[in-house]
Structure 1
Amino acid sequence: MTPKERAERAAHAMWREDNASRWVGMRIDDVDEGRATLSMMIEKHHTNGHGICHGGVIFMLADSAFAFACNSKNQSTVAQHNDISYIAPGRLGDRLFAEAREVSLTGRNGIYDVTVTNQKNTVIAEFRGCSRAIPGQLFEE
Protein backbone atom coordinates (compact mmCIF):
# COMPACT_ATOMS: atom_id res chain seq x y z
CA MET A 1 0.00 0.00 0.00
CA THR A 2 1.34 3.45 -0.88
CA PRO A 3 1.57 6.19 1.76
CA LYS A 4 -1.28 8.07 0.02
CA GLU A 5 -3.50 4.95 0.01
CA ARG A 6 -2.75 4.44 3.72
CA ALA A 7 -3.64 8.08 4.43
CA GLU A 8 -6.89 7.77 2.48
CA ARG A 9 -7.88 4.57 4.30
CA ALA A 10 -7.06 6.13 7.66
CA ALA A 11 -9.08 9.24 6.76
CA HIS A 12 -12.04 7.12 5.68
CA ALA A 13 -11.95 5.20 8.97
CA MET A 14 -11.78 8.41 11.01
CA TRP A 15 -14.43 10.22 8.96
CA ARG A 16 -16.95 7.44 9.63
CA GLU A 17 -16.80 8.25 13.35
CA ASP A 18 -16.17 12.02 13.13
CA ASN A 19 -19.66 13.30 13.85
CA ALA A 20 -18.46 16.77 14.91
CA SER A 21 -16.62 17.63 11.67
CA ARG A 22 -19.49 16.38 9.51
CA TRP A 23 -22.05 18.19 11.70
CA VAL A 24 -20.33 21.57 11.31
CA GLY A 25 -20.22 21.10 7.51
CA MET A 26 -16.62 20.17 6.79
CA ARG A 27 -15.43 18.06 3.92
CA ILE A 28 -12.12 16.32 3.27
CA ASP A 29 -10.54 17.72 0.10
CA ASP A 30 -7.24 15.82 0.15
CA VAL A 31 -5.10 13.63 2.39
CA ASP A 32 -1.62 12.22 2.03
CA GLU A 33 1.07 11.08 4.42
CA GLY A 34 1.53 13.87 6.98
CA ARG A 35 -0.88 16.19 5.14
CA ALA A 36 -4.58 16.96 4.96
CA THR A 37 -6.80 19.67 3.52
CA LEU A 38 -10.35 20.17 4.81
CA SER A 39 -12.80 22.90 3.89
CA MET A 40 -16.18 24.30 4.81
CA MET A 41 -18.57 27.11 3.85
CA ILE A 42 -19.26 29.76 6.46
CA GLU A 43 -23.00 29.81 6.96
CA LYS A 44 -25.12 32.06 9.15
CA HIS A 45 -25.02 29.63 12.10
CA HIS A 46 -21.18 29.83 12.07
CA THR A 47 -21.13 33.61 12.68
CA ASN A 48 -20.74 35.45 15.98
CA GLY A 49 -22.13 38.73 17.34
CA HIS A 50 -19.81 40.70 15.04
CA GLY A 51 -21.26 39.00 11.97
CA ILE A 52 -17.99 37.17 11.21
CA CYS A 53 -17.04 33.52 11.56
CA HIS A 54 -16.76 32.46 15.20
CA GLY A 55 -13.14 31.80 16.17
CA GLY A 56 -14.11 28.43 17.62
CA VAL A 57 -15.39 27.33 14.22
CA ILE A 58 -12.12 28.33 12.56
CA PHE A 59 -10.20 26.53 15.32
CA MET A 60 -12.38 23.45 14.83
CA LEU A 61 -11.64 23.36 11.08
CA ALA A 62 -7.89 23.71 11.70
CA ASP A 63 -7.98 21.11 14.47
CA SER A 64 -9.77 18.62 12.23
CA ALA A 65 -7.24 19.09 9.41
CA PHE A 66 -4.48 18.58 12.01
CA ALA A 67 -6.18 15.37 13.18
CA PHE A 68 -6.38 13.88 9.69
CA ALA A 69 -2.75 14.80 8.96
CA CYS A 70 -1.34 13.34 12.16
CA ASN A 71 -3.38 10.11 11.82
CA SER A 72 -2.44 9.64 8.16
CA LYS A 73 0.12 6.91 8.92
CA ASN A 74 -2.53 4.68 10.54
CA GLN A 75 -1.12 5.24 14.02
CA SER A 76 -3.78 6.44 16.47
CA THR A 77 -2.75 9.96 17.41
CA VAL A 78 -4.36 12.67 19.55
CA ALA A 79 -3.69 16.34 20.24
CA GLN A 80 -1.27 17.10 23.03
CA HIS A 81 -1.71 20.87 22.77
CA ASN A 82 -2.29 23.46 20.08
CA ASP A 83 -2.66 27.20 19.52
CA ILE A 84 -4.02 29.51 16.88
CA SER A 85 -3.42 33.08 15.69
CA TYR A 86 -6.28 34.79 13.89
CA ILE A 87 -5.07 36.96 11.02
CA ALA A 88 -8.24 38.07 9.19
CA PRO A 89 -11.96 37.46 9.65
CA GLY A 90 -13.85 34.73 7.86
CA ARG A 91 -17.06 36.12 6.41
CA LEU A 92 -20.49 34.71 5.70
CA GLY A 93 -20.36 32.89 2.35
CA ASP A 94 -16.59 32.32 2.42
CA ARG A 95 -15.22 28.85 1.83
CA LEU A 96 -12.44 28.22 4.30
CA PHE A 97 -9.60 25.78 3.57
CA ALA A 98 -7.40 24.33 6.30
CA GLU A 99 -4.17 22.85 4.96
CA ALA A 100 -2.24 20.82 7.55
CA ARG A 101 1.34 19.67 7.08
CA GLU A 102 3.73 17.71 9.23
CA VAL A 103 6.70 19.75 10.45
CA SER A 104 8.34 17.19 12.72
CA LEU A 105 7.71 13.63 13.89
CA THR A 106 10.06 12.22 16.52
CA GLY A 107 9.03 9.04 18.27
CA ARG A 108 5.47 9.52 19.55
CA ASN A 109 5.51 13.36 19.28
CA GLY A 110 4.59 15.39 16.21
CA ILE A 111 4.33 19.04 15.25
CA TYR A 112 1.90 20.14 12.54
CA ASP A 113 1.22 23.56 11.07
CA VAL A 114 -2.16 24.42 9.62
CA THR A 115 -2.88 27.46 7.47
CA VAL A 116 -6.52 28.48 7.10
CA THR A 117 -7.32 30.53 3.99
CA ASN A 118 -10.46 31.63 2.19
CA GLN A 119 -11.41 31.21 -1.47
CA LYS A 120 -9.33 34.33 -2.34
CA ASN A 121 -6.27 32.74 -0.68
CA THR A 122 -6.38 35.33 2.13
CA VAL A 123 -4.80 33.89 5.27
CA ILE A 124 -7.46 33.70 7.98
CA ALA A 125 -5.48 31.90 10.70
CA GLU A 126 -2.28 30.04 11.51
CA PHE A 127 -2.55 27.02 13.81
CA ARG A 128 0.15 24.83 15.34
CA GLY A 129 -0.76 21.44 16.75
CA CYS A 130 1.39 19.07 18.77
CA SER A 131 0.39 15.42 18.64
CA ARG A 132 1.00 12.34 20.72
CA ALA A 133 0.73 8.80 19.34
CA ILE A 134 -1.32 6.40 21.45
CA PRO A 135 -1.73 2.64 21.15
CA GLY A 136 -3.81 1.40 18.23
CA GLN A 137 -4.52 1.84 14.56
CA LEU A 138 -7.48 3.18 12.60
CA PHE A 139 -7.73 0.05 10.43
CA GLU A 140 -6.14 -3.42 10.33
CA GLU A 141 -3.02 -3.69 8.21
Structure 2
Amino acid sequence: MKQNTNQPAATAATAGQSHADALAKRCIAKLRSKDRVSEGLGITIKSGGPGRIALSMAVTEEMLNAYDTCHGGYIFTLADAAFAYASSTRNNAAVGLNCHIDFMRPAKKGDHLYAHSEVTYVGRTTGTTLVKVVDQNNRQIAELHGRYFNVGQAVLDDEASFGDTSA
Protein backbone atom coordinates (compact mmCIF):
# COMPACT_ATOMS: atom_id res chain seq x y z
CA MET A 1 0.00 0.00 0.00
CA LYS A 2 1.42 3.37 -1.03
CA GLN A 3 1.72 6.00 1.70
CA ASN A 4 0.55 9.55 1.00
CA THR A 5 3.73 11.63 1.29
CA ASN A 6 1.76 14.87 0.91
CA GLN A 7 -0.33 14.35 4.02
CA PRO A 8 1.58 16.86 6.24
CA ALA A 9 1.24 19.52 3.53
CA ALA A 10 -2.47 18.73 3.12
CA THR A 11 -2.96 18.89 6.89
CA ALA A 12 -1.14 22.24 7.06
CA ALA A 13 -3.25 23.61 4.20
CA THR A 14 -6.43 22.46 5.93
CA ALA A 15 -5.28 24.05 9.20
CA GLY A 16 -4.46 27.29 7.37
CA GLN A 17 -7.84 27.32 5.66
CA SER A 18 -9.52 26.54 8.95
CA HIS A 19 -7.70 29.49 10.57
CA ALA A 20 -8.65 31.77 7.66
CA ASP A 21 -12.31 30.69 7.93
CA ALA A 22 -12.34 31.26 11.69
CA LEU A 23 -10.67 34.66 11.27
CA ALA A 24 -13.21 35.68 8.62
CA LYS A 25 -16.13 34.63 10.82
CA ARG A 26 -14.73 36.65 13.74
CA CYS A 27 -14.23 39.71 11.51
CA ILE A 28 -17.78 39.40 10.17
CA ALA A 29 -19.19 39.09 13.71
CA LYS A 30 -17.25 42.17 14.87
CA LEU A 31 -18.40 44.23 11.89
CA ARG A 32 -21.99 43.07 12.33
CA SER A 33 -21.99 43.99 16.03
CA LYS A 34 -21.52 47.65 15.03
CA ASP A 35 -23.53 47.72 11.78
CA ARG A 36 -26.67 49.65 12.69
CA VAL A 37 -27.70 50.22 9.07
CA SER A 38 -27.85 46.51 8.20
CA GLU A 39 -29.61 45.74 11.44
CA GLY A 40 -32.18 48.47 10.83
CA LEU A 41 -32.93 47.18 7.32
CA GLY A 42 -33.20 43.56 8.46
CA ILE A 43 -30.15 42.50 6.45
CA THR A 44 -29.01 39.06 7.58
CA ILE A 45 -25.79 37.14 7.08
CA LYS A 46 -26.29 33.85 5.24
CA SER A 47 -22.66 32.71 4.95
CA GLY A 48 -19.16 34.08 4.88
CA GLY A 49 -15.50 33.25 4.64
CA PRO A 50 -12.20 34.75 3.56
CA GLY A 51 -12.97 37.34 0.88
CA ARG A 52 -16.63 36.43 0.51
CA ILE A 53 -20.05 36.87 2.09
CA ALA A 54 -23.72 36.31 1.31
CA LEU A 55 -26.32 38.67 2.79
CA SER A 56 -30.09 38.81 2.41
CA MET A 57 -32.84 41.39 2.80
CA ALA A 58 -36.62 41.28 2.38
CA VAL A 59 -38.20 44.08 0.34
CA THR A 60 -40.80 45.82 2.53
CA GLU A 61 -43.53 48.39 1.87
CA GLU A 62 -41.28 51.17 3.22
CA MET A 63 -38.67 50.41 0.54
CA LEU A 64 -40.99 51.01 -2.41
CA ASN A 65 -40.68 54.02 -4.71
CA ALA A 66 -43.38 55.78 -6.76
CA TYR A 67 -43.37 52.88 -9.27
CA ASP A 68 -44.09 50.31 -6.53
CA THR A 69 -40.65 48.76 -7.00
CA CYS A 70 -37.79 48.65 -4.53
CA HIS A 71 -35.93 51.96 -4.52
CA GLY A 72 -32.45 51.50 -6.00
CA GLY A 73 -30.91 53.04 -2.89
CA TYR A 74 -31.98 50.05 -0.80
CA ILE A 75 -30.60 47.60 -3.34
CA PHE A 76 -27.37 49.60 -3.41
CA THR A 77 -27.22 49.57 0.40
CA LEU A 78 -27.52 45.76 0.45
CA ALA A 79 -24.79 45.43 -2.20
CA ASP A 80 -22.60 48.01 -0.46
CA ALA A 81 -22.89 46.15 2.86
CA ALA A 82 -21.80 42.93 1.14
CA PHE A 83 -18.92 44.84 -0.50
CA ALA A 84 -17.79 46.17 2.89
CA TYR A 85 -17.99 42.85 4.72
CA ALA A 86 -16.19 40.81 2.03
CA SER A 87 -13.43 43.43 1.78
CA SER A 88 -12.63 43.20 5.51
CA THR A 89 -12.76 39.43 6.15
CA ARG A 90 -8.98 39.03 6.31
CA ASN A 91 -8.73 41.29 9.37
CA ASN A 92 -8.02 44.38 7.29
CA ALA A 93 -10.17 47.42 7.91
CA ALA A 94 -11.18 48.40 4.37
CA VAL A 95 -13.17 51.35 3.09
CA GLY A 96 -14.69 51.86 -0.34
CA LEU A 97 -12.76 54.01 -2.80
CA ASN A 98 -15.35 53.80 -5.55
CA CYS A 99 -18.01 51.54 -6.93
CA HIS A 100 -20.66 51.42 -9.56
CA ILE A 101 -23.84 49.47 -9.76
CA ASP A 102 -25.86 48.24 -12.72
CA PHE A 103 -29.54 47.48 -12.19
CA MET A 104 -30.86 44.63 -14.35
CA ARG A 105 -34.48 44.30 -13.21
CA PRO A 106 -36.71 45.69 -10.47
CA ALA A 107 -37.43 44.05 -7.15
CA LYS A 108 -40.93 44.16 -5.69
CA LYS A 109 -42.52 44.08 -2.27
CA GLY A 110 -42.14 40.63 -0.73
CA ASP A 111 -39.05 39.71 -2.76
CA HIS A 112 -36.06 38.36 -0.86
CA LEU A 113 -32.81 39.76 -2.19
CA TYR A 114 -29.45 38.02 -1.79
CA ALA A 115 -26.12 39.79 -2.23
CA HIS A 116 -23.22 37.45 -3.01
CA SER A 117 -19.92 39.29 -2.69
CA GLU A 118 -16.44 38.05 -3.53
CA VAL A 119 -13.08 39.80 -3.48
CA THR A 120 -11.65 39.44 -6.99
CA TYR A 121 -8.27 41.11 -6.44
CA VAL A 122 -6.17 41.63 -3.32
CA GLY A 123 -3.28 44.06 -3.50
CA ARG A 124 -1.05 45.54 -0.83
CA THR A 125 -3.22 48.63 -0.32
CA THR A 126 -6.27 48.16 -2.56
CA GLY A 127 -8.54 45.42 -3.77
CA THR A 128 -11.62 44.86 -5.89
CA THR A 129 -14.90 43.17 -5.14
CA LEU A 130 -17.79 41.91 -7.24
CA VAL A 131 -21.29 41.76 -5.75
CA LYS A 132 -24.22 40.09 -7.48
CA VAL A 133 -27.71 40.75 -6.14
CA VAL A 134 -30.35 38.16 -7.02
CA ASP A 135 -33.94 37.55 -5.93
CA GLN A 136 -35.48 34.43 -4.40
CA ASN A 137 -35.79 32.93 -7.91
CA ASN A 138 -32.09 33.55 -8.61
CA ARG A 139 -32.92 36.28 -11.16
CA GLN A 140 -30.19 38.90 -11.22
CA ILE A 141 -31.37 42.25 -9.89
CA ALA A 142 -28.09 44.18 -9.81
CA GLU A 143 -24.30 43.92 -9.97
CA LEU A 144 -21.86 46.13 -8.08
CA HIS A 145 -18.15 46.47 -8.84
CA GLY A 146 -16.14 48.09 -6.07
CA ARG A 147 -12.57 49.08 -5.27
CA TYR A 148 -11.53 49.33 -1.64
CA PHE A 149 -8.58 50.73 0.30
CA ASN A 150 -6.96 49.00 3.27
CA VAL A 151 -6.64 51.70 5.92
CA GLY A 152 -3.77 49.91 7.71
CA GLN A 153 -5.75 48.82 10.75
CA ALA A 154 -6.99 45.46 11.91
CA VAL A 155 -10.68 44.72 12.36
CA LEU A 156 -9.80 42.56 15.37
CA ASP A 157 -7.40 44.16 17.84
CA ASP A 158 -6.21 40.82 19.21
CA GLU A 159 -5.32 39.08 15.92
CA ALA A 160 -1.71 39.04 14.76
CA SER A 161 -2.38 38.03 11.16
CA PHE A 162 -3.25 41.51 9.81
CA GLY A 163 -1.86 41.97 6.36
CA ASP A 164 -2.46 38.39 5.24
CA THR A 165 -3.42 38.81 1.61
CA SER A 166 -3.73 35.16 0.69
CA ALA A 167 -6.72 34.65 -1.53
TM-score, structure 2 as length reference? 0.83
Q: Equivalent residue of 2:128, what SS?
A: strand
Deviation, 1:4, is: 1.1
What do residues 54-98 of structure 1 show as CA deviations (whole Å, max 9, x unaligned)?
000000000000111000001111000000000000110000000
Identify the residue that residue 21 of structure 1 maps to in structure 2.
Answer: 38
CA distance in 1, matches of 2:63, 2:92: 32
Please identify which structure carries the higher strand content: 1
- 2:129 counterpart of 1:108: no
Deviations 1:93-121 (A, max 9, x none): 00000000111111111110000000000
RMSD in angstroms over aligned alpha carbons?
0.8
Q: What does residue 55 of structure 1 align with?
A: 72
Cα distance in 2 between the residues matched to 1:60 and 1:86: 13
1:11 CA drift (Å): 0.5
Structure 1 residue 127: Cα displacement: 0.4
Structure 2 stretches lacking a partner, 5+ long = 1-17, 160-167
Pair 1:135-2:152 in alignment: yes
Q: Whole-Å Cα distance in 2 between the matches of residues 66 and 95 of structure 1? A: 18
- Deviant stretches of 4+, over 4 Å: none
Equivalent residue in structure 1 for 2:137, among 114, 120, 131 = 120
Task: State the TM-score, normalizing by the size of structure 1.
Answer: 0.98
Q: Which has the higher contact order (CA 8 A, sep 6+)?
A: 1
Given the alignment of the two structures, is residue 69 of structure 1 paired with residue 117 of structure 2, yes or no?
no
CA distance in 2, matches of 1:58, 1:9: 26
Aligned to 1:12: 29
Residues matched between the structures, number: 141
Structure-2 separation of matches of 1:31 and 1:70: 11
Q: Give the secondary structure class of the aligned counterpart of 1:3.
A: helix
